[in-house]
Amino acid sequence: MRSGEIWLVNFWPSVGDEIAKTRPAVIVDNDEMGSLGLRIVVPFTDAKQHAKEWHVKVKPSVSNKLRKENVADCLQIKSVSSDRLVKKVGVLSANDIDEVRICLAKVLDLI
């Protein structure tokens, strides 16, 4: 489980507007930090909904193995137990992971 990898993540149970069900998410935390069995992830959701400023569009590719265009929903960033990571799907391109990190910096008011 490394930064930039896309995994199917089980987000159940969810509360309120939290993202739900098992869906792809990209790992965004620093691989060298932390000794707990936790990973920080940004889930993907359907790109058909109206794009928001906290969404990063990601098109399917050979490396990410997504089946359709998705958006990384940076407002739904979560720290999850590695036990919630079900199966590795693929890996984001360097450009896509950079765009997700920039969007996260905006969401977290770091830039």
The token pair that represents 102 in the structure block? 């920039």
Does 8 have pLDDT greater than 80? Answer: yes
How confident is the model over 7-36, as a mean pLDDT?
92
CA angle 86-75-81, nearest 5°? 30
How confident is the model over 38-48, as a mean pLDDT?
92
Domains of the chain: 5-107 (2.30.30.110)
Q: How confident is the model at residue 51 (pLDDT cuts 50, 70, 90)?
A: confident
Residue 9 or residue 35, greater confidence: 9
What is this structure's pTM? 0.92
How confident is the model over 82-95, as a mean pLDDT?
97
| Nearby residues of 42 by Cβ (< 8 Å), 6 or more positions away | 25, 26, 28, 72, 73, 74, 76, 77, 78, 100, 104
Does 97 have pLDDT greater than 80? Answer: yes
Determine the 3-state secondary structure of 95 from DSSP: helix
Q: Tell me what pLDDT residue 49 has.
A: 67
How confident is the model over 59-83, as a mean pLDDT?
96
Q: Residue 49 and residue 54: Cα distance in Å, rounded? A: 13
